[in-house]
Structure 1
């Protein structure tokens, strides 16, 4: 069986796809997985680290671009469809999965023309343009938020949550209880590419925050472009922290955190809630359709997050919010429970079950485990 996954551009598109790929392999280790992406996004680096094969096609973004870029993107569409057609035919694809981003439309359209079963995953509270465009061509649309259902044919749409890697699961015991007096750890990350505005606010907040919570320890993911500046900022302030450009092992890092400062991509929300982490969410203000704010407000409504719009972001305000969460055990407990209340940990299993049904495959997971000696 060969599964083709069109995903890339950002970690928010890529990591749900990786979670699905691993669930297919967990069911049947003989399954062949191929990702299709471009050379523009993070997929080359991340997929090589995760051990998956990547085929490159021509595809360009449309949203937020000028007229010339839009024209070039539209002209590249037939090329991308033809390249996708060749890959799907050569690999004899049994199923195509689109996870949004500008790669998905070309691959999904090629699959539709070839009659290959196809599904899409929409992890955001407000769907992106790519998934809205290819929605009519998909046999199933898997959603993370009920609010996204109005944009698709309800007969084909199912609200299942966002697939997350199994490394995030089965660790609830590490997230239980109150914040320990000497174990308070702050995790800061701005998505796969980092966030300069968050990095700057954190550097501004550090003197105030460390004066309020001197035992606080910090892991700070900066993004490649801002790594040197942020690392030098910590050094100049005389503050020891784990400053990195990218976090490959997010499950381990996230489980050690007591409070998280982050953007509000769908994957971030899914991972935070899987681990029950209280969060301070700073949505990307330029996100298409303001979908990150909608994601953040959903977690805030559940009680698991404080939303801090970037327009209100200052070092003083950020340090104040972090302080009130890590030093108030009752508030931390309440936010921990609110975060856990949102988690959906069976999304990957449900999506794979449905994909087998669409392909007409009668798959017995227990039989696969017996064949593997499990």
Structure 2
């Protein structure tokens, strides 16, 4: 038997790249001598992130369709044809045993060509509202691994397996306590802590909200661990003090989660899966600027199970302080939200996805 070869594609954002890398790592753990190849979009972040994780990647000349008429849209047919031809060549040369797609434009041409060459395909959909590429590929996939109930709205029911989303292993094994974590960030172990997460680049609207509410948090005797993102750090670092820690990026997420009493966050699929595992009360402020408004759908899925609070960006000025106080003033509410979100955690997601991939090895 020759060594197994796995081809993976997903990218454009960390939400597609991280799951692909996690799946590759688990496959590598089970098959140490297997060969891996990633395929991404030439100018996107996967071209940097995947090699950092120790894997080879090839880039396709592909991008999404813009929602308005632009020069980029006129180029789309040429990019698509170029990417399909390049993807066919890559599949022919690499001869994968299984192809795995985690969403994003580049996975379209790759999985299309893998399937037409007789390679079994597995899709992994992170969101509660399926992305365009995965919806187009669903008919060609053997299995579709999802994180939410009700996904038969988008995919053939017999192909769906609910596995959850891959989560960073350091969070699954996290053991840090409140005292150790507050000390690490230079916070007061006796005060309640608000953790603010806007993603690695930052979220402008959340940052504006936190800036406006700093006085309100101070009146409540709270301290703030504020991850404002690298795009905004220069603008907000002036607020750094004993009770407010302003960070571009959090390297020790396990400690940040351990320090938090309440969390304010975007509702990207990866964040939601992590926060389920953490089991703390969360106020989600979904980004309205994402495809199919999927962050709002992700947050709603938790709100429906009494597992989180959601505020739209348009409601923040009017509703934030009351919603926040309702959570902070009631230990009962915080416990209920923490307990219910924890019930939705799927810590073994990566292993379950790889179990499905293994069934296709022949």
Q: What TM-score results when the alignment is normalised by the length of structure 2?
A: 0.88
Q: Is the 8 A contact 1:221 1:244 kept in 2?
A: yes
Matching residue within 311, 329, 332 for 1:330: 332
SS at match of 1:225: coil
- 1:256 maps to 259
Q: Look up the SS of the partner of 2:236 in the other structure.
A: helix
Please report the RMSD computed on the Cα atoms of aligned residues, expressed in angstroms: 2.6
TM alignment of 1:18-37, pairs within 5 A: 18-37=21-40
Size of the aligned set, in residue pairs, is 351
The Cα shift of 1:281 comes to 0.4
Distance 1:40 1:308, change over 3 A: farther
Q: How many angstroms apart in 2 are the aligned matches of 1:54 and 1:34?
A: 6
Q: Is the 8 A contact 1:18 1:165 kept in 2?
A: no
2:212 maps to 1:204: yes
2:17 matches 1:10:
no
**Structure 1 CA distance, aligned partners of 2:100 and 2:192?**
40
Work out whether 1:133 is the aligned partner of 2:143. Answer: no
Corresponding residue for 1:285? 288
Does residue 158 of the first structure (1) align with residue 165 of the second (2)? Answer: no
1:200 positional shift: 0.9
**Distance (whole Å) between structure 2 residues aligned to residue 326 and residue 97 of structure 1:** 43
1:61 Cα deviation after fit: 1.1
Asked if 1:219 is matched to 2:226, the reply is yes
**Structure 1 unmatched runs, 5+:** 361-374
Question: Residue 186 of structure 1 corresponds to which residue in structure 2?
Answer: 194
C-alpha separation in 1, matches of 2:195 and 2:49: 21
Q: Does residue 357 of the first structure (1) align with residue 329 of the second (2)? A: no
Which position in structure 1 is the counterpart of 2:185? Answer: none
Deviation at 1:249, TM superposition (A): 4.6
* Aligned partners of 1:186 and 1:259 also within 8 Å: yes
1:59-90 CA-partner distances (Å, limit 9, x unpaired): 10125353543332232011112222233333
Higher relative contact order, structure no. (Cα contacts within 8 Å, ≥ 6 residues apart):
1
Identify the residue that residue 298 of structure 1 maps to in structure 2: 301
Any idea what SS the aligned residue of 2:128 has?
A: coil
Q: For structure 2, which runs of at least 5 residues remain unmatched after alignment? A: 183-187
Counterparts of 1:78-93 in structure 2 under 5 Å? 78-93=81-96
Residue 318 of structure 1: CA displacement?
3.5
Question: 2:237 maps to which residue?
Answer: 231
Q: Is the 8 A contact 1:209 1:319 kept in 2?
A: no
Mapped partners of 2:283, 2:162: distance in 1: 26
Q: Name 1:340's counterpart in structure 2.
A: 342
**Residues 29-52 of structure 1: CA distance to partner in whole angstroms, max 9, x if unpaired?**
323333221243332443344333
Q: 1:239 to 1:103 in 2, by over 3 A?
A: farther
